[in-house]
Amino acid sequence: MAGQRGGVTRILKKLERNIENGNYYEAHQMYKTLSFRYISQERASDAIELLYNGASLLLSKDQQESGLDLSLLLVNTLTNEKIALENCIIEKLGNLHDKMSKENVERLNFMQLALIWTTGGKTDQRGDPRLHRLFAMTLWRKAIYDEAHHHFIHASDSGRDCAHMLIEFHLKKGYRSECDLFIANAVLQYLCLKNETSAMEVLKTYTTNHPSVEKGPPFVRPLLNFCWLLLLAVENQKFLAFSVLLKKYEPSIVRDASYKCYLDKIGQNYFNLPPPQRVPENSFIDSIMRMFTTEDDLSTLTHDDIE
């Protein structure tokens, strides 16, 4: 054991010299060698700290390939050693992701594996909301808006930040006519995940702060009105109102092909509707839309009906 520890000490000293001299490739290899030694000595916590420090240093020196390799080795160590989920490790993973270049093709692999680790290896789960939030904030800062949107939807306490990100996204990348589409996606996706609080929060924050959105509710844009009334129907468990809304706002709903899928899931989540059949034409949402066909049915729907 003394011989092993002496070998580790020598490697550490050589590692420091390589870093001082800018020999980053050699340092990268030595970080890996030393981490394997720590694991063989059942010093997993030391291996994790070493890999984190090494990855962080190399990434900060713009050694993206080497830094990401150590980052992946860190996640692999967390998984293989069955390390418990703790805030300090979540923060380490978030910090490493923050230092990764958006052009680094292995960045997404790191994110996926890190999230899988937070689930205990269960690939059918979404991952820890805290890590999703850290990823989302970094992606927003780097203007990787599509990815930021995805991670905000799966993050904890994210409605306000998601809304401000979407405002920035729309103003920089979207057409003026699409301002309602940007927020509707987020509202529906939050509801698909049974997160009514964030769905309400994202809509309120977006419509209050977006310079191109009229103040409401009610709103001039039909899709914004639909989202507002849908949230009320969900909050008050009004299936009839939900059904009528689907028909009344069908012209707005069909603007995005994904909305029917989202609404099918929302119907299952909040109104105990059955899953749709595999043939799209026979989805339950289509059936509901066909149930309400007269103008009288639609024009009489009011805010009071939903509350």
Whole-angstrom CA distances from 114 to 32, 75, 181 are 19, 6, 31
Which of 24, 110, 92, 91 has the alpha carbon at shortest distance from 53? 92
| Gap between the terminal Cα atoms of the chain | 72
CA distance 9 to 156: 42
- Higher confidence at residue 81 or residue 285? 81
Q: What is the mean pLDDT of the chain?
A: 90
- Whole-prediction pTM: 0.88
Whether 2 shows a pLDDT value over 70: the answer reads no
Lowest mean pLDDT among 6-10, 167-171, 279-283: 279-283
Model pLDDT, residue 296: 44
Whole-angstrom CA distances from 213 to 31, 102, 224, 230 are 53, 31, 9, 19
Model pLDDT, residue 63: 95
Model pLDDT, residue 293: 42
- Higher confidence at residue 224 or residue 285? 224
Q: Confidence class of residue 298 from pLDDT cuts 50, 70 and 90? A: very low
Whether 17 shows a pLDDT value over 70: the answer reads yes
Q: Confidence class of residue 294 from pLDDT cuts 50, 70 and 90? A: very low
Lowest mean pLDDT among 82-91, 164-173, 290-299: 290-299
Whether 156 shows a pLDDT value over 80: the answer reads yes
Model pLDDT, residue 189: 98
Q: How many CA atoms lie within 13 A of 60 on its CB side?
A: 9
Q: Confidence class of residue 215 from pLDDT cuts 50, 70 and 90? A: confident
Whether 34 shows a pLDDT value over 50: the answer reads yes
